[in-house]
Chain A
Amino acid sequence: MSAEVAHAAIAVLRGLVGPAMAVVYVSQAAHALGKDLESLEPSDADGLCVELRKLMSGYCSLAMLEDMCEDVHRQMAAAASGSA
Protein backbone atom coordinates (compact mmCIF):
# COMPACT_ATOMS: atom_id res chain seq x y z
CA MET A 1 0.00 0.00 0.00
CA SER A 2 1.34 3.47 -0.84
CA ALA A 3 1.49 6.38 1.56
CA GLU A 4 -1.74 7.77 0.12
CA VAL A 5 -3.82 6.07 2.81
CA ALA A 6 -1.73 7.73 5.52
CA HIS A 7 -1.92 11.04 3.70
CA ALA A 8 -5.70 10.75 3.70
CA ALA A 9 -5.70 10.39 7.49
CA ILE A 10 -3.23 13.27 7.80
CA ALA A 11 -5.48 15.43 5.63
CA VAL A 12 -8.40 14.85 8.01
CA LEU A 13 -6.32 15.97 10.98
CA ARG A 14 -4.64 18.89 9.21
CA GLY A 15 -7.60 21.23 9.60
CA LEU A 16 -7.93 20.34 13.27
CA VAL A 17 -4.38 20.36 14.62
CA GLY A 18 -2.38 21.94 11.80
CA PRO A 19 -0.08 20.30 9.27
CA ALA A 20 2.85 19.69 11.63
CA MET A 21 0.91 17.95 14.38
CA ALA A 22 -1.23 16.04 11.88
CA VAL A 23 1.89 14.26 10.65
CA VAL A 24 3.16 13.75 14.21
CA TYR A 25 -0.13 12.30 15.43
CA VAL A 26 -0.69 9.93 12.51
CA SER A 27 2.94 8.80 12.71
CA GLN A 28 2.64 8.15 16.44
CA ALA A 29 -0.66 6.34 16.01
CA ALA A 30 0.74 4.20 13.19
CA HIS A 31 3.82 3.44 15.28
CA ALA A 32 1.61 2.30 18.16
CA LEU A 33 0.00 -0.13 15.72
CA GLY A 34 3.43 -1.43 14.78
CA LYS A 35 3.32 0.18 11.35
CA ASP A 36 4.89 3.05 9.46
CA LEU A 37 3.04 5.58 7.35
CA GLU A 38 3.68 3.73 4.06
CA SER A 39 2.20 0.48 5.32
CA LEU A 40 -1.10 1.84 6.70
CA GLU A 41 -4.20 0.21 5.21
CA PRO A 42 -7.90 1.07 5.42
CA SER A 43 -8.32 -1.86 7.83
CA ASP A 44 -6.07 0.04 10.26
CA ALA A 45 -8.58 2.86 10.57
CA ASP A 46 -10.16 1.47 13.76
CA GLY A 47 -6.83 1.07 15.51
CA LEU A 48 -5.66 4.42 14.22
CA CYS A 49 -8.74 6.09 15.67
CA VAL A 50 -8.21 4.44 19.05
CA GLU A 51 -4.70 5.86 19.17
CA LEU A 52 -5.78 9.29 17.92
CA ARG A 53 -8.48 9.41 20.59
CA LYS A 54 -5.83 8.77 23.24
CA LEU A 55 -3.79 11.70 21.93
CA MET A 56 -6.62 14.16 21.33
CA SER A 57 -9.36 13.37 23.83
CA GLY A 58 -8.02 15.94 26.30
CA TYR A 59 -8.93 18.89 24.09
CA CYS A 60 -11.45 17.44 21.67
CA SER A 61 -15.10 16.99 22.52
CA LEU A 62 -16.37 13.41 22.27
CA ALA A 63 -18.70 14.54 19.48
CA MET A 64 -15.80 15.94 17.48
CA LEU A 65 -13.74 12.77 17.98
CA GLU A 66 -16.62 10.72 16.58
CA ASP A 67 -16.82 12.96 13.53
CA MET A 68 -13.07 12.81 13.05
CA CYS A 69 -13.00 9.04 13.15
CA GLU A 70 -15.83 8.78 10.65
CA ASP A 71 -13.84 11.05 8.35
CA VAL A 72 -10.66 9.02 8.86
CA HIS A 73 -12.47 5.81 7.94
CA ARG A 74 -14.08 7.37 4.88
CA GLN A 75 -10.99 9.14 3.59
CA MET A 76 -8.66 6.17 4.09
CA ALA A 77 -11.06 3.92 2.25
CA ALA A 78 -11.44 6.45 -0.55
CA ALA A 79 -7.66 6.83 -0.86
CA ALA A 80 -7.20 3.06 -1.02
CA SER A 81 -9.85 2.64 -3.73
CA GLY A 82 -8.42 5.56 -5.64
CA SER A 83 -4.92 4.17 -5.62
CA ALA A 84 -5.94 0.59 -6.38
Chain B
Amino acid sequence: MGVLPRRAAVTAGALLASIVVAAAAMRAVSANADMAAALSTAGAVAFAVFAVAAAWSLASRLQRGEPLQVQVAAIGAGMAALVAGDFVYWAHESLLRVEPYPSSADLLYIASFPLLGGGLLLALRAFTRGQRQTVPLAVSAAVSLAGTVAVWLTVLGPLMGDTEASVLEKALGAFYPLGDLWLLLFPALALALALVRFAGGRLATPWAIVSFGALAMAATDTAYTWLDYAGTYVSGSLVDVGWWVAYAAIGLGLVTLAEVQGVRGGRSRER
Protein backbone atom coordinates (compact mmCIF):
# COMPACT_ATOMS: atom_id res chain seq x y z
CA MET B 1 0.00 0.00 0.00
CA GLY B 2 1.32 3.46 -0.87
CA VAL B 3 0.42 6.69 0.87
CA LEU B 4 -3.19 6.07 -0.13
CA PRO B 5 -5.01 2.76 -0.63
CA ARG B 6 -5.74 2.04 -4.29
CA ARG B 7 -9.42 3.06 -4.33
CA ALA B 8 -8.67 6.25 -2.42
CA ALA B 9 -5.79 7.06 -4.79
CA VAL B 10 -8.08 6.67 -7.79
CA THR B 11 -10.67 8.87 -6.09
CA ALA B 12 -7.99 11.49 -5.35
CA GLY B 13 -6.96 11.54 -9.00
CA ALA B 14 -10.56 11.93 -10.16
CA LEU B 15 -11.20 14.74 -7.67
CA LEU B 16 -8.03 16.58 -8.67
CA ALA B 17 -8.89 16.31 -12.36
CA SER B 18 -12.43 17.54 -11.66
CA ILE B 19 -11.14 20.56 -9.75
CA VAL B 20 -8.64 21.49 -12.45
CA VAL B 21 -11.20 21.16 -15.26
CA ALA B 22 -13.91 23.04 -13.35
CA ALA B 23 -11.49 25.82 -12.35
CA ALA B 24 -10.40 26.19 -15.98
CA ALA B 25 -14.04 26.33 -17.06
CA MET B 26 -14.83 28.94 -14.41
CA ARG B 27 -11.90 31.04 -15.57
CA ALA B 28 -12.98 30.68 -19.20
CA VAL B 29 -16.45 32.06 -18.45
CA SER B 30 -15.24 34.72 -16.01
CA ALA B 31 -16.49 37.48 -18.33
CA ASN B 32 -20.03 36.25 -17.66
CA ALA B 33 -20.38 36.87 -13.91
CA ASP B 34 -23.67 34.96 -13.55
CA MET B 35 -22.33 31.88 -15.30
CA ALA B 36 -19.08 31.93 -13.29
CA ALA B 37 -21.04 32.28 -10.05
CA ALA B 38 -23.35 29.42 -11.01
CA LEU B 39 -20.38 27.22 -11.85
CA SER B 40 -18.77 28.09 -8.53
CA THR B 41 -21.89 27.19 -6.56
CA ALA B 42 -22.46 23.99 -8.54
CA GLY B 43 -18.89 22.90 -7.89
CA ALA B 44 -19.12 23.62 -4.17
CA VAL B 45 -22.40 21.72 -3.85
CA ALA B 46 -21.09 18.78 -5.88
CA PHE B 47 -17.94 18.35 -3.76
CA ALA B 48 -19.89 18.85 -0.53
CA VAL B 49 -22.45 16.23 -1.60
CA PHE B 50 -19.54 13.88 -2.33
CA ALA B 51 -18.29 14.42 1.24
CA VAL B 52 -21.77 13.80 2.67
CA ALA B 53 -22.11 10.60 0.64
CA ALA B 54 -18.67 9.39 1.75
CA ALA B 55 -19.58 10.03 5.40
CA TRP B 56 -22.95 8.34 5.07
CA SER B 57 -21.47 5.34 3.30
CA LEU B 58 -18.84 4.84 6.00
CA ALA B 59 -21.07 5.57 9.01
CA SER B 60 -23.68 3.10 7.82
CA ARG B 61 -21.06 0.33 7.66
CA LEU B 62 -19.73 0.86 11.18
CA GLN B 63 -21.39 -0.66 14.21
CA ARG B 64 -24.02 1.52 15.82
CA GLY B 65 -22.62 3.88 18.43
CA GLU B 66 -18.96 2.99 18.06
CA PRO B 67 -16.76 6.09 18.55
CA LEU B 68 -15.57 6.23 14.94
CA GLN B 69 -19.17 6.26 13.72
CA VAL B 70 -19.99 9.27 15.90
CA GLN B 71 -17.01 11.22 14.53
CA VAL B 72 -17.86 10.40 10.92
CA ALA B 73 -21.56 11.14 11.43
CA ALA B 74 -20.77 14.55 12.96
CA ILE B 75 -18.59 15.52 10.01
CA GLY B 76 -21.14 14.20 7.53
CA ALA B 77 -23.92 16.14 9.26
CA GLY B 78 -21.78 19.28 9.17
CA MET B 79 -21.26 18.93 5.43
CA ALA B 80 -24.98 18.19 4.95
CA ALA B 81 -25.81 21.40 6.82
CA LEU B 82 -23.55 23.31 4.42
CA VAL B 83 -25.28 21.79 1.38
CA ALA B 84 -28.72 22.53 2.84
CA GLY B 85 -27.61 26.07 3.66
CA ASP B 86 -26.46 26.59 0.07
CA PHE B 87 -29.81 25.33 -1.20
CA VAL B 88 -31.80 27.63 1.10
CA TYR B 89 -29.52 30.56 0.20
CA TRP B 90 -30.05 29.85 -3.51
CA ALA B 91 -33.83 29.53 -3.01
CA HIS B 92 -33.99 32.90 -1.26
CA GLU B 93 -31.90 34.57 -3.92
CA SER B 94 -33.18 32.93 -7.11
CA LEU B 95 -36.71 31.71 -6.36
CA LEU B 96 -38.05 34.02 -3.69
CA ARG B 97 -36.05 37.01 -4.97
CA VAL B 98 -35.29 38.21 -1.44
CA GLU B 99 -32.03 39.16 0.25
CA PRO B 100 -30.44 35.85 1.30
CA TYR B 101 -28.27 37.37 4.05
CA PRO B 102 -29.27 37.17 6.78
CA SER B 103 -31.81 34.39 6.32
CA SER B 104 -32.68 30.88 7.51
CA ALA B 105 -29.70 29.68 5.45
CA ASP B 106 -27.50 31.14 8.17
CA LEU B 107 -28.98 28.75 10.75
CA LEU B 108 -27.74 25.85 8.64
CA TYR B 109 -24.35 27.43 8.01
CA ILE B 110 -23.99 28.13 11.74
CA ALA B 111 -24.93 24.53 12.60
CA SER B 112 -22.17 23.23 10.33
CA PHE B 113 -19.43 24.72 12.51
CA PRO B 114 -20.04 22.83 15.79
CA LEU B 115 -20.77 19.65 13.84
CA LEU B 116 -17.54 19.76 11.83
CA GLY B 117 -15.50 21.06 14.76
CA GLY B 118 -17.08 18.52 17.10
CA GLY B 119 -16.16 15.64 14.79
CA LEU B 120 -12.59 16.90 14.60
CA LEU B 121 -12.36 17.35 18.38
CA LEU B 122 -13.68 13.83 18.97
CA ALA B 123 -11.03 12.48 16.59
CA LEU B 124 -8.38 14.57 18.37
CA ARG B 125 -9.46 13.19 21.74
CA ALA B 126 -9.36 9.65 20.35
CA PHE B 127 -5.84 10.00 18.96
CA THR B 128 -4.52 11.65 22.12
CA ARG B 129 -5.96 9.21 24.65
CA GLY B 130 -3.32 8.46 27.23
CA GLN B 131 -0.95 11.05 25.75
CA ARG B 132 -0.13 14.59 26.78
CA GLN B 133 -0.76 16.87 23.82
CA THR B 134 0.19 20.27 25.18
CA VAL B 135 2.14 21.40 22.11
CA PRO B 136 -0.55 20.77 19.44
CA LEU B 137 -3.18 22.48 21.58
CA ALA B 138 -0.94 25.41 22.48
CA VAL B 139 0.25 25.97 18.90
CA SER B 140 -3.29 25.74 17.52
CA ALA B 141 -4.64 28.12 20.14
CA ALA B 142 -1.83 30.59 19.37
CA VAL B 143 -2.55 30.47 15.63
CA SER B 144 -6.30 30.89 16.18
CA LEU B 145 -5.67 33.76 18.58
CA ALA B 146 -3.38 35.49 16.10
CA GLY B 147 -6.05 35.06 13.43
CA THR B 148 -8.66 36.47 15.79
CA VAL B 149 -6.57 39.57 16.42
CA ALA B 150 -5.96 40.04 12.69
CA VAL B 151 -9.65 39.63 11.84
CA TRP B 152 -10.67 41.92 14.68
CA LEU B 153 -8.31 44.68 13.59
CA THR B 154 -9.29 44.49 9.92
CA VAL B 155 -12.96 43.50 9.86
CA LEU B 156 -14.71 42.93 13.18
CA GLY B 157 -13.61 46.11 14.92
CA PRO B 158 -14.93 48.36 12.15
CA LEU B 159 -18.06 46.19 11.80
CA MET B 160 -18.88 46.50 15.49
CA GLY B 161 -18.55 50.28 15.22
CA ASP B 162 -20.78 50.45 12.16
CA THR B 163 -23.93 52.24 13.26
CA GLU B 164 -25.83 51.18 10.13
CA ALA B 165 -25.35 47.43 10.66
CA SER B 166 -28.12 45.64 12.57
CA VAL B 167 -27.43 43.59 15.70
CA LEU B 168 -28.12 40.40 13.72
CA GLU B 169 -25.68 41.41 10.98
CA LYS B 170 -23.05 42.18 13.61
CA ALA B 171 -23.64 38.88 15.39
CA LEU B 172 -23.43 36.87 12.16
CA GLY B 173 -20.52 38.93 10.92
CA ALA B 174 -18.63 38.05 14.11
CA PHE B 175 -19.70 34.40 14.31
CA TYR B 176 -18.51 33.33 10.86
CA PRO B 177 -14.86 34.41 11.10
CA LEU B 178 -14.60 33.42 14.77
CA GLY B 179 -16.24 30.07 14.02
CA ASP B 180 -13.70 29.51 11.25
CA LEU B 181 -10.83 30.27 13.59
CA TRP B 182 -11.99 28.44 16.72
CA LEU B 183 -14.38 25.71 15.53
CA LEU B 184 -12.52 24.72 12.35
CA LEU B 185 -8.92 25.91 12.34
CA PHE B 186 -8.22 25.18 16.02
CA PRO B 187 -9.37 21.53 16.12
CA ALA B 188 -8.10 20.79 12.60
CA LEU B 189 -4.63 22.15 13.28
CA ALA B 190 -4.43 20.47 16.69
CA LEU B 191 -5.45 17.15 15.14
CA ALA B 192 -2.96 17.53 12.28
CA LEU B 193 -0.14 18.27 14.75
CA ALA B 194 -1.15 15.40 17.04
CA LEU B 195 -1.07 13.03 14.06
CA VAL B 196 2.62 13.75 13.45
CA ARG B 197 3.46 11.18 16.13
CA PHE B 198 1.49 8.61 14.13
CA ALA B 199 3.56 9.15 10.97
CA GLY B 200 4.22 5.93 9.12
CA GLY B 201 0.95 4.34 10.28
CA ARG B 202 -1.99 4.09 7.96
CA LEU B 203 -4.65 5.04 10.52
CA ALA B 204 -3.48 8.66 10.66
CA THR B 205 -3.59 9.29 6.90
CA PRO B 206 -7.39 9.71 6.52
CA TRP B 207 -7.63 12.15 9.39
CA ALA B 208 -4.66 14.12 8.07
CA ILE B 209 -6.58 14.56 4.81
CA VAL B 210 -9.78 15.55 6.64
CA SER B 211 -7.77 18.04 8.71
CA PHE B 212 -6.28 19.50 5.55
CA GLY B 213 -9.79 19.94 4.17
CA ALA B 214 -10.98 21.71 7.31
CA LEU B 215 -7.91 23.96 7.28
CA ALA B 216 -8.52 24.79 3.61
CA MET B 217 -12.14 25.61 4.47
CA ALA B 218 -11.12 27.91 7.32
CA ALA B 219 -8.50 29.62 5.14
CA THR B 220 -10.92 30.14 2.25
CA ASP B 221 -13.67 31.39 4.56
CA THR B 222 -11.24 33.86 6.12
CA ALA B 223 -10.04 35.04 2.72
CA TYR B 224 -13.69 35.51 1.75
CA THR B 225 -14.30 37.53 4.93
CA TRP B 226 -11.51 39.94 4.06
CA LEU B 227 -12.38 40.20 0.37
CA ASP B 228 -16.08 40.66 1.08
CA TYR B 229 -15.42 43.37 3.66
CA ALA B 230 -13.11 45.13 1.20
CA GLY B 231 -15.82 44.86 -1.44
CA THR B 232 -13.56 43.02 -3.84
CA TYR B 233 -15.06 39.52 -3.62
CA VAL B 234 -16.74 38.26 -6.76
CA SER B 235 -18.56 34.92 -6.78
CA GLY B 236 -16.98 32.74 -9.44
CA SER B 237 -13.46 33.99 -8.80
CA LEU B 238 -10.60 31.60 -8.20
CA VAL B 239 -10.79 31.97 -4.41
CA ASP B 240 -13.92 29.81 -4.65
CA VAL B 241 -11.71 26.90 -5.71
CA GLY B 242 -10.57 26.84 -2.08
CA TRP B 243 -14.00 25.59 -1.04
CA TRP B 244 -13.94 22.91 -3.74
CA VAL B 245 -10.56 21.71 -2.51
CA ALA B 246 -11.75 21.78 1.11
CA TYR B 247 -14.93 19.78 0.52
CA ALA B 248 -13.19 17.35 -1.83
CA ALA B 249 -10.43 16.75 0.73
CA ILE B 250 -12.92 16.04 3.51
CA GLY B 251 -14.72 13.56 1.27
CA LEU B 252 -11.45 11.97 0.17
CA GLY B 253 -10.38 11.64 3.80
CA LEU B 254 -13.57 9.75 4.60
CA VAL B 255 -13.19 7.48 1.56
CA THR B 256 -9.63 6.77 2.69
CA LEU B 257 -10.86 6.13 6.23
CA ALA B 258 -13.25 3.47 4.95
CA GLU B 259 -10.39 1.86 3.03
CA VAL B 260 -7.86 1.74 5.86
CA GLN B 261 -10.44 0.58 8.40
CA GLY B 262 -11.28 -2.29 6.08
CA VAL B 263 -15.00 -1.51 5.93
CA ARG B 264 -15.13 -1.00 2.17
CA GLY B 265 -18.09 -2.89 0.80
CA GLY B 266 -19.27 -3.56 4.33
CA ARG B 267 -17.43 -6.83 4.80
CA SER B 268 -14.05 -6.88 3.13
CA ARG B 269 -10.97 -6.12 5.17
CA GLU B 270 -7.83 -4.88 3.54
CA ARG B 271 -4.81 -6.29 5.31
Interface residues of chain A, those whose CB is within 8 Å of chain B, are 13-22, 24, 28, 54-55, 57-64, 67
**A25, chain B: closest CB distance, angstroms:** 8
Interface residues of chain B, those whose CB is within 8 Å of chain A, are 62-63, 66-68, 71, 122-123, 125-127, 129-131, 197-204, 207, 261-263, 269, 271
- By DSSP majority rule, is chain A's interface helix, strand, loop, or mixed? helix
Contact (Cβ within 8 A) A14 B263:
no
**A12, chain B: closest CB distance, angstroms:** 11
Contact (Cβ within 8 A) B201 A15:
yes
Contact (Cβ within 8 A) A67 B203:
no
Beyond A57-B67, A59-B126, A62-B63, whether A17 also contacts B262 by CB under 8 A is: no
Q: Within 8 Å CB of B131, what residues of A?
A: 24
Q: Within 8 Å CB of A54, what residues of B?
A: 129-130
Beyond A21-B197, A67-B271, whether A59 also contacts B203 by CB under 8 A is: yes
Q: Within 8 Å CB of A21, what residues of B?
A: 197-198, 201
Contact (Cβ within 8 A) B200 A61:
no
Q: Within 8 Å CB of B62, what residues of A?
A: 61-62
Contact (Cβ within 8 A) B201 A14:
yes
Give Cα A62–Cα B61 distance, bound, in whole angstroms. 11
Q: Within 8 Å CB of A14, what residues of B?
A: 200-201
Q: Which of A17, A19, A20, A55 has the most CB of B within 10 A?
A: A17
Give Cα A14–Cα B203 distance, bound, in whole angstroms. 10
List the 10 closest pairs (A to B, CB-CB), nearest first: A58-B126, A18-B201, A18-B200, A17-B201, A59-B126, A61-B261, A58-B67, A18-B198, A16-B201, A16-B203
**A59, chain B: closest CB distance, angstroms:** 4
Name the residue of chain B whose CB is nearest to the CB of A71. B271
Give Cα A62–Cα B126 distance, bound, in whole angstroms. 14
Contact (Cβ within 8 A) A20 B127:
no
